[in-house]
Chains A and B, each alone.
Chain A
C-alpha cells in the first residue's frame, strides 16, 4: 500500500540520517534535562547547606583589637540583629603548613590559611554529609578545596610548624565552608578540636576575627551594613555578606549549567536543520508519489499527517530517551557541586522541571516539522506526474563560464562555480560550518585567554616579575620598610613599586559613608590596562575597578568624596580597570595610605633580565618570611587553576561537539546533494571524469564553505563571542574581556582539525557517486 510504503520506505532507506536526527534530539533533550536539573539542584542544595550551616548574613573580617564593650552595646541596641558571634581565627603563614609528607610547605599558596574551632550558635563548618563536624583532640578537618587541589585525604597527617615546635594532626573530615568554599575565595578555614585550638593559639600570635551577624530579615542587609560601617564598628578587613556567599558558591556550576543549556539549544537547532534536509530530500524523492496521491484525491492534510506522524514519532522517542538517559549522566555534571555543596532532599520541582524543559524541546521540534511540511502543498499533481523532476536549473553567472576559467584546475573551478551558483542551497552547510567553527573557537579562545600570563590584567594587577604580599604581622610597617630597603639595595632588581592597601571612608551620592578598599602607591611603574582613562597621577585622582564604578555609579571625570582625617577631600575618577580579585571591588590612588586601616602591603618588582625568577622567589620567601612571595604567573594560575581545569574539559567537549556536528551535517547534506546531482554525475562520468576528479569537485565545494565558515566563525567569536563572554564575566569584575589568542591553536590546530574531519566526511559521503553510471539512466 502506498501509505505504508511511504512510512517505512525512508526509515529503511535513510537509516543513517534518521539515526543522526535521533541522536541530536536525544542529546539536546539529555542536556536540557541535565542542565535544568543542575540549576534546580544547585539552588536547593545551596539553600539546604546554608540552612544547615546557619550561614551568617553579615561578616566583617577584622585584624586588630576589638572594643568588645562598644561592639556588644551597639549590637544589642540594633533591632535588626538576631544573633551574633565573634570567631577567632589563628592566621598561619603558608610556610608553616605541610599538607603532605614531603618537605614542601604551602609557602607558595595564595590562600590565607587560618585555624578555627567549631562555632557554637551558627556558621557551622560541615562535613561532606552536611553534618556539623565534631573533632577529637589530635584531629583536624580540612577544606574541600585541599582535597580537590592537593589530594588531601581522610587519614592523612598534616603538620603545622611554629617557631617552638611542630604539631601533626590527623585529617578526619573534609570541610564544607559555606563562606569560603570556592577556590576564588582566598581564605580557607581549618578546623581543630577546642583544646588543640587553645594550644595552638599559644604558639601563634596572629589572631584575626570574623565579626558575624545573623539578621531577622536578610532583606535589611544593606541597611544593616550601612549602620554597622557608619557606627565606627571594627572594620580592618573586607566586609562580606550572604548574597556574595551565594554568588561565589554557585558561580562555577551556574556557569557550567548555562553552557550546557546553550549547548542543548544549539543541538536542537542542528537537529531541526537535519530534519529539514531529510524532509526536503524525502519530499523530492516522493515527489511523484505525492503527486499520485493528490491526483487520486487524497486530501492534502492526510498526506501531511502521514509525514508528520512519522517524524513526530521519532522526535518523541528521542526526547524521551534523552530525558531518561539524563538521569545517568547527572553525576558527571554535578560532581563538583556535590563535593562542595552536597545535595538537598529531592523536591517535586526537581522532577517536574527537567520534564518540562525536555517537553519544550519536543514541542519546538514538532512545530518546526509542521512548518517544513508546508512545501507538500506546493506540489501540483499535474506537474509532478508530467515532469517527475524537481531540481531547478541553477542561475549561471557569466564570470564563471568554463571558458573564462583561465588556467585554474577544472575540477577546482567546477567546485567553486557550484558553491557560488548554488549558494542558496549550500548556505545551510556554510551556516553549519560557521556554527561548528564558533562552537570550537569560542572556548579555545577563552581558554587561551584565561591561561595566558596576560590575563593578569583582568585581576587588577600590573605586570611584574614578582609580587610580594605582606599581611598583618606585628610591626608590619617596619617590616615593610625593611623590605623596601633590602630590595632597593638588591642589584638583581631592575624596578620595584611598593603598594599599600588600606580602607578609606567615602561618601556616596546620598551622603552615606561607605568604606572603600584602596591600593595606594605609584601606579605608573607597573602599569595595568585600563578599560577607560589612565592611572592616577596626583593626589586628587582615583582609579576604580569596574564593579566599584558600577556600584558607586561613578564614571571618568566624576567626583568621589573621601573623608580623610575628618575633612572632605574630592577625588576625581581618572580611570576604570578590570579586577576579578577581592570580589571585584578595588580602587587605586596616589594618596598616602590610611595608617589606621591598613589591610595589606604589596611590593611588585622586576628583575634584571639575567636573573632567574624562581630562585629569587625562593630567596625572598626565606628572607621576608612570613610575606608571601610569588611570581605573577604562579599567582594567577593558582587563583584560576580550578576554573582553568574545568574549562579545559568544556573546551575538549566543545571541540568534539563542533567536529561531530560538522561531520554529521556535511554527511547528510552531501548525501542529499549527490542524490540531486545524480544526472550531472552520470554525464560527467561518461565524458571521462574519473571518480577521484568528481570527488575533488565536491571536496572543493565543502572546503570553500568550510573556510568561509571558519573565517566568519572566527570573526564572530572575536566580536559577538567576546562580547558574550564579557557579559558572563562582567559580574565577576571584568567587563571587557579581550581574547588573548594563541595563533597556533586558532590558525593551525582548529582549522586543521575541522578541515581533516570535513574532508574525510566528504570523501565518505560522496563515495556513493560510484553507483551513478550513465548506463543506468539509459536502461530505464
Chain B
C-alpha cells in the first residue's frame, strides 16, 4: 500500500483582531493510504473542516507540509492547486453548494468539461452512468429547487466523481440528511471506495464512522487518538458489532483526551 496523503506538523492560524492569533490546527500529522476509507470525528469547533480544507489545498496552511501523491502542496501555484482539485480530488459538502444557474446534470458535467481530459461525449456518458448509479437520472434537467436534500447530495457525489478522482473528501456529507438517505449515501461511498477511490470523511455520526476502515478523533486542533476498525463487509451483524465497538471507544476517548499528550501512544498500543 502506498501513501496518497500525508501531513507533517500541519498548522493553521487565524488572525483575530489586529495582533491575536488563533491556532485552529496544531501541528497535525496524518497519513492516509491509497484506497483507504478514513473518517474524522470530534467535537464541533475542533478543527475538522479546517483540516480537510488544508490537506486538500483548498485553503493555504500556515506552516507544516502536506504531500499529496508526493507533491508538496504549499509549493504549488494557485493554478496547479486548482488543477489538482479538478482532476484528482472530489469534494462533497454538507451544504449543497450546487450552482443555482445550472441544471442538475450541468452541475455534474461542468468540471468534466472544464478538465478537458476526456471528450465531452464521454463526460456525458459518464454523467449518465453516475446518475443511473445514484438513481437520479430522471432529474437531469431539473433546477436545484426541484429536488430533495438527499437527491441533491447524490448530485454532489456524482459531481465529485465525474473526473475519476483519486480521493474524495467529504465534510459531513450526511449531516443534513435523514437516516435513510444517510445510509444510502454511505452505501454509495463504500461502493466508490471499493473501486479504489480513497475516501476521507468528516462526520458527527458514529453510525457513518463505524463503516470506515479507520476513525481519527480530533480535539483542539489536534488528532488526539484513532481506532482501526478494519474493512467492513456490509454484513448487518458486523455493522452492529462495529458500531458498538466504536461507541465504546468514543466513550473511552473522553478519558484519553484528558491526557492528550499520551493519547497517540495509547492508540498505538491498545488498538493495534
Q: Is A775 an interface residue (CB 8 A)?
A: yes
- Name the distance in Å between A425's Cβ and chain B's nearest Cβ: 12
Contacts of A421 in B (CB 8 A): 101
Residues of B with C-beta under 8 A to A690 = 78-79, 82-83
Q: Which of A407, A686, A691, A778 contacts B120 (CB 8 A)?
A: A407
Other 13 A-B pairs with CB < 8 A, given A401-B102, A684-B99: A402-B106, A403-B105, A403-B109, A686-B58, A687-B86, A687-B110, A687-B159, A688-B111, A690-B82, A692-B79, A774-B97, A777-B95, A779-B50
Evaluate whether A773 and B82 lie within 8 angstroms (CB atoms) in the complex, with A402-B110, A683-B99, A687-B114 already known.
Answer: no
B58 and A773 contacting across the interface, CB-CB below 8 Å = yes
Taking CB atoms, residues of chain B closer than 8 Å to A689 are 82, 86, 114
* Cβ–Cβ < 8 Å partners of A393 in chain B: 100-101, 143-145
Query: A-side binding surface: helix, strand, loop or mixed?
Result: helix
B59 pairs with A401, CB closer than 8 A? no
8 nearest CB pairs, A to B: A688-B86, A690-B82, A688-B85, A402-B106, A775-B53, A775-B59, A410-B113, A687-B111
Known: A688-B82, A688-B115. A402 touches B109 (CB 8 A): yes
Interface residues of A in 750-780 (CB under 8 A from B): 773-775, 777-779
The reply to whether B98 and A683 contact each other, CB–CB distance below 8 Å, is yes
Residues of B within 8 A of A685 (CB): 82
Question: Do most interface residues of chain B lie in helix, strand or loop, or is the interface mixed?
Answer: helix
Contact partners of B82 in chain A: CB under 8 A: 685, 688-691, 693
Residue of A421, A690, A693, A779 contacting most chain B CB atoms (<10 Å): A690
Contact with A along B37-69 (1 / 0, CB 8 A): 000000000000110010000110000000000
Contact sample, A vs B, 26 pairs, CB 8 Å cutoff: A393-B100, A396-B102, A398-B141, A401-B105, A401-B141, A402-B106, A410-B113, A421-B101, A684-B99, A686-B85, A686-B91, A686-B93, A687-B85, A687-B111, A687-B114, A688-B82, A688-B89, A688-B111, A688-B114, A689-B82, A689-B86, A692-B79, A775-B53, A778-B49, A778-B93, A779-B49
Q: Let me know if B113 and A402 touch, CB within 8 A.
A: yes
Most B Cβ at <10 Å: residue of A417, A679, A775: A775
Interface presence of B171 (CB below 8 A): yes
* CB proximity of A688 to chain B, nearest CB, Å: 3
Nearest Cβ in chain A — how far from B225, in angstroms? 25
Interface status of A680 (Cβ within 8 A of chain B): yes
Interface residues on A, range: 35 or more
Chain A proximity of B38: nearest CB distance (Å): 19
Instruction: Please tell me if the beta carbons of A403 and B106 are within 8 angstroms of each other in the complex.
Output: yes
A418 at the interface (CB under 8 A from B): yes
A400-426 interface with B by 8 A CB criterion: 401-403, 405-407, 410-411, 417-418, 421
A402-B106, A685-B82, A688-B115 known; A680-B53 Cβ under 8 A: no
B residues sitting closer than 8 Å to A (CB atoms) are 49-50, 53, 58-59, 78-79, 82-87, 89, 91, 93, 95, 97-103, 105-106, 109-111, 113-115, 120, 124, 141, 143-145, 159, 171
Known: A405-B113, A410-B113, A775-B59. A683 touches B97 (CB 8 A): yes
Give the chain B neighbours of A345 by CB distance below 8 A.
Answer: none
Closest CB-CB distance, A771 to chain B, in whole Å? 13
B14 nearest in chain A by CB position: A779
What's the count of A-B pairs with C-beta under 8 Å? Answer: 101
Contact B114 A394 (CB under 8 A): no
CA distance A695 to B83 in the complex (A): 16
Q: Are B58 and A775 in contact (CB under 8 A)?
A: yes
Selected from B78, B100, B113, B124, the residue in CB contact (under 8 A) with A394 is B100
Q: In the bound complex, do residue B87 and residue A688 qualify as a contact, i.e. CB atoms below 8 Å apart?
A: yes
| B93 surroundings in chain A (CB, below 8 A) | 686, 774, 778
Give, as a whole number of angstroms, the nearest-CB distance from B109 to chain A. Answer: 6
Q: Which residue of A lies closest to B119 (CB)?
A: A407
> From B120, which residue of chain A is reached at the shortest CB distance?
A407
Instruction: Check B86 against A774 for contact (C-beta < 8 Å).
Output: no
- Contact status A680-B100, CB under 8 Å: yes
Shortest Cβ distance from B87 into A: residue: A688
Q: Which residues of A contact B141 (CB under 8 A)?
A: 398, 401
**A402 and B49 alpha carbons, distance in the complex (Å):** 31
8 Å CB interface, A668-684 against B: 679-680, 682-684
B106 contacts A778, C-beta separation under 8 Å = no
Q: How far is the CA of A157 from the CA of B122 in the complex (A)?
A: 88
> Which residues from B are CB-within-8-Å of A775?
49-50, 53, 58-59
Instruction: Kindly state the separation between the CA atoms of A688 and B57 in the bound complex, as whole angstroms.
Output: 11
Contact indicator A778/B78 (Cβ below 8 Å): no
What residues of chain B lie closer than 8 Å to A680, measured between beta carbons? 99-101
B164 to chain A minimum Cβ distance, whole angstroms, is 13
Q: B156 to chain A: closest CB distance in Å? A: 10
List the A side residues contacting B113 at CB < 8 Å.
Answer: 402, 405, 410
A643 to B87, CA, bound (A): 64
Q: Which of A249-276 contact B (CB under 8 A)?
A: none
B53 partner, pick from A398, A688, A774, beta carbons under 8 A: A774
Provide the bound-state CA to CA distance between A406 and B124, in Å: 11
Contact residues in B for A692 (Cβ distance below 8 Å): 79
CA gap between A493 and B86 in the complex, in Å: 77
Contacts of B120 in A (CB 8 A): 405-407
A349 to B151 CA separation, bound complex (whole angstroms)? 74
Chain A residues within 8 Å of B86, by CB:
687-689
Docked CA distance A684–B82 (Å): 10
How near does chain A come to B162, taking the closest CB pair, in angstroms?
A: 10
CA distance A778 to B84 in the complex (A): 21
CB closest residue in chain A, given B123: A403
Q: Considering the chains assembled together, what is the distance between the CA atoms of A777 and B171 in angstroms?
A: 13
B143 cross-chain contacts in A, Cβ below 8 A: 393, 396
Q: Is the CB of B99 within 8 A of A403?
A: no
In the complex, the answer to whether B50 meets A693 with C-beta atoms within 8 Å is no
Most chain A CB atoms below 10 A, which of B82, B93, B141, B171: B82
Nearest chain-B residue to A422 (Cβ)? B101
CB closest chain-B residue, reference A774: B58
Chain A residue with minimal CB distance to B97?
A: A683
Nearest-neighbor residue (CB-CB) of B49 within chain A: A778
B171–A778 CB distance below 8 A: yes
A679 to B50, CA, bound (A): 19
Q: Is the CB of B59 within 8 A of A773?
A: yes
Q: What is the bound-complex CA distance between A421 and B79, given in angstroms?
A: 28
* Contact status A394-B50, CB under 8 Å: no
Report the separation of the CA atoms of residues A689 and B110 in the bound assembly, to the nearest whole angstrom: 10
- Report chain A residues within 8 Å CB of B145: 393
Residues from chain A with Cβ under 8 Å of B91 in the complex: 686-687, 774
Q: Give CA–CA (A692, B83) in the complex, Å.
A: 12
Residue with the highest number of chain A CB atoms closer than 10 Å, among B86, B89, B101, B106:
B101
CB closest residue in chain A, given B24: A779
- Bound together, the chains give a CA A541 to CA B254 distance in angstroms of 113
Distance in angstroms between the alpha carbons of A685 and B95 in the assembled complex: 16
Known: A688-B115, A778-B171. A394 touches B101 (CB 8 A): yes
Are A401 and B106 within 8 A (Cβ)? yes
**B171 partner residues in chain A, CB cutoff 8 A:** 778
Residue of A nearest to B106 (CB): A402
Are B101 and A686 touching (Cβ within 8 A)? no
Which residues from chain A contact B114 at a C-beta distance below 8 Å? 410-411, 687-689, 693
Whether the pair A402, B58 counts as a contact (CB closer than 8 A) is no
Q: How far is the CB of A300 from chain B (nearest CB, A)?
A: 30
B101 touches A396 (CB 8 A): yes
Contact yes or no, A686 B97, CB < 8 A: yes
- Output the least CB separation between A679 and chain B (Å): 8
Q: Which residues of B contact A403 (CB under 8 A)?
A: 105-106, 109, 124
Q: Once bound together, how far apart are the Cα atoms of A450 and B106, in whole Å?
A: 55
Kindly state the separation between the CA atoms of A402 and B53 in the bound complex, as whole angstroms.
Answer: 28
- Distance between Cα atoms of A775 and B54 in the complex (Å): 9
Q: Which residue of A lies closest to B59 (CB)?
A: A775
Cα distance, A754 to B110, chains bound together (Å): 32
The CA of A329 and the CA of B106, in the complex, are separated in Å by: 57
Cβ–Cβ < 8 Å partners of B124 in chain A:
403
When C-beta atoms are compared, the residue in chain B nearest to A680 turns out to be: B99
Closest A residue to B172 using CB positions: A778
Contact A410 B99 (CB under 8 A): no
